[in-house]
Amino acid sequence: MGIREALPSELAARWDLVVVGGGITGAGILLEAVRAGLQVLLVEARDFAWGTSSRSSKLVHGGLRYLREGRFALTRASVIEREHLLRQAPGLVDPIELVVPVFAHRGPGRAALRVGLPLYDLIAGRHAHRYLNRDTLAALLPGIREEGLEGGYRFVDAQTDDARLVLRVLDEAVRMGAWVRSYTAARTVCRAHDGHVAGVDLQDKESGAVQHAACPVIVNATGFWAERLQRSPREDEHLRPLRGSHLMIPAERLPLPCAVTFPHPADLRPVFALPWEGAVLLGTTDLDHDQDPDTEPVPTTDEVDYLLEGLNDLLPGLTLTPSDCTAAFAGVRPVVSRGDRAPSRESREHVVWADKGLVTVTGGKLTTFRRLAWDALAAAAPWLPDFKIDPRRPVFAAPPAPPETEVATAGWRQRLWGRYGPEAAMIWNNADREEETPIPGTSTLWAELPFAAKHEQVRHLSDLLLRRVRIGLLTPGYGKAYLGRVRKICRPYLPWSHRQWKNEANRYLAQCRQAHGLPPGLQVTDAKKAAPLTAFKAFWGRYAGKLFSK
């Protein structure tokens, strides 16, 4: 029930496998391992999905640009996995309409897209793209730059809440007998006299207590920190951390009827603006990450300027500024570099290194997390009991059908059951009438907060408000106005003293300002000060429904 925490005595047992890293890669390995009948433990040095797995672009996509670069195998694998997730986790992974404008002499032309998009659809097994002429596109996106505009294409991909995807995978694994612990670091890899892995010393990051977990295999799934546990065995292949920064803009400031991906005027890199959870996500950059790896990554002033410059060039009538943003965040991609290339030219394919029971898997994409898990377990097989992976098995077991209640008619049914699986019924049945309502400005029910506080290993307020739910990114002032009510409904499950609650609130807000605000000299909005863009919204209401119903 929920993500249970392994008791200290459990660590005295001998495990078949210990997974280090609680992002989507580690969660996927945990799930596939326990399904194969292995005794498995996962540890994470911070909170689950603390790193890139809560700071991604939220897309579950095949990578249309990878197809243009000739990486057909990566595109095919990604599209296949995207389709699995769309079928098996509606409400958590959902289709999203994307429009790509075509400009003369800028970015991919009509001819390239006319070839690439049918291939994209062919892999998915359905026709999901169409051409939009210049007038249709201009009606869909009022205010779009007219200079050089030739038309555009509409196609379909998918998006998710990346942190909730990690938590759903972890919960699925725990239900099958796996164990997980957050805020527990792998301190030392222990080896036998012949050099083979014999176990790992684990340290609770807050109490300092150290325990030993005996195991013949450790899988290192720590993302861009991976070479701390295992150095690359190849001189020409090392991790190259690349930062991707994003801005959150309220929907009333940027009421997009669909997602848009467009070439940035400065370097022709694809940039996107995606409706997500009641806001708009603008991203992303692709730069070498030279910040301290042990602190939360933050966008730079240049990155903020770059993203807003691109959007304002696409929609010159908007003139958005940093004050229009409610939050910002940066994720660090664990890209494996095999030469001297520009960041955006580096391959997103994963690698696996194995050395006498220590297996490292890194690189790769959110979408293909299962395939990373299969390759990691294949590399670990020589040191494990016999097991068998079934790639035809669904990602998630089908949860019980949700009841026909007001939650269904209000549109919450699929979302709640997709994100929480079998636990969704508990959330709904235990909620009072006030908790059945959404937090203002978001798609999150108040009822989700006490459930997460009780069942999902919340140690800090930031765990709850930045990853279990996302109101820290979506609401003005990082949700400061709601902290009193959060405390009221979650206090029975987070039995902190009055002083602890105050300290947690102060720590949370300071962390948000540091990691999710804008750089010094820029300012995120803390209130809804600007009037809605009424003309833009009028066009949206008049044309968007007609366009996408055809």
Q: Give the tens place of pLDDT for each residue, 251-291.
A: 989 989 899 999 999 999 999 999 999 999 999 999 999 99
Query: What pLDDT does residue 494 have?
Result: 95
Query: What pLDDT does residue 450 have?
Result: 96
- What is the residue-averaged pLDDT of the chain? 88
Is the model's pLDDT at 250 over the cut of 50?
yes
Question: What CATH superfamily classification does 59-159+238-345+541-549 receive?
Answer: D-Amino Acid Oxidase, subunit A, domain 2 (3.30.9.10)
**Listed ranges 126-130, 201-205, 217-221; the one with the highest mean pLDDT:** 217-221
Is the model's pLDDT at 532 over the cut of 70?
no
Taking phi first (over 0 means left), then psi (-120 to 50 degrees means alpha), and beta for anything else, what does residue 541 get?
Answer: alpha
Give mean pLDDT, residues 520-541: 50
Q: What is the band of 325 on the pLDDT scale with cuts at 50, 70, 90? A: very high
Q: Helical H runs in 284-338?
A: 301-314
Is the model's pLDDT at 242 over the cut of 70?
yes
- Distance of CA 371 to CAs 16, 389, 390, 517, Å? 20, 11, 12, 35
Give mean pLDDT, residues 190-213: 94
Query: What pLDDT does residue 266 have?
Result: 93
Query: What pLDDT does residue 550 have?
Result: 39
pLDDT, tens only, 165-187: 999 999 999 999 999 999 999 99
- 8 Å CB contact between 514 and 295: no
CATH number of the domain at 8-52+163-237+346-383, please? 3.50.50.60
Write the DSSP symbol of residue 291.
Answer: S
Query: What pLDDT does residue 100 have?
Result: 94
Query: What pLDDT does residue 403 have?
Result: 60
pLDDT, tens only, 26-77: 999 999 999 999 999 999 999 999 999 999 999 998 777 777 766 778 888 8
Query: What pLDDT does residue 111 have?
Result: 77
Taking phi first (over 0 means left), then psi (-120 to 50 degrees means alpha), and beta for anything else, what does residue 91 get?
Answer: left
Is the model's pLDDT at 408 over the cut of 60?
no
Is the model's pLDDT at 339 over the cut of 90?
no
The H-or-E segment that residue 218 falls in is strand 218-220
Would you list the domain boundaries of the chain? 8-52+163-237+346-383, 59-159+238-345+541-549, 430-515
Phi/psi for 207 (5° steps) reads -90, -25
User: Could you give the CA distance from residue 429 to residue 76 in angstroms, rounded to a whole number?
Assistant: 41
Tokens 């805020």 belong to residue: 183
- Number of Cβ atoms within 10 Å of the Cβ of 543: 17
Is the model's pLDDT at 18 over the cut of 50?
yes
Percent of the chain with pLDDT over 70: 90
The reply to whether the predicted model has a pTM over 0.85 is yes
Higher-scoring residue by pLDDT: 409, 76? 76
Give mean pLDDT, residues 519-538: 54
Give mean pLDDT, residues 356-374: 95
- Out of 59-68, 72-81, 456-465, 490-499, pick the least confident: 59-68
User: Could you give the CA distance from residue 349 to residue 447 in angstroms, rounded to a whole number?
Assistant: 39
pLDDT, tens only, 348-360: 788 999 999 999 9
Q: What is the band of 120 on the pLDDT scale with cuts at 50, 70, 90? A: confident
Q: Is the dihedral of CA 72, 116, 79, 151 positive or negative?
A: positive
Q: What is the layout of strands, in order, in the sheet containing 218-220? A: 179-181, 40-43, 17-20, 218-220, 358-362, 351-355
Query: What pLDDT does residue 533 have?
Result: 42
Is the model's pLDDT at 125 over the cut of 90?
no
Query: What pLDDT does residue 541 have?
Result: 46
Rg (alpha carbons) of the chain, rounded to whole number:
23
Is the model's pLDDT at 485 over the cut of 90?
yes
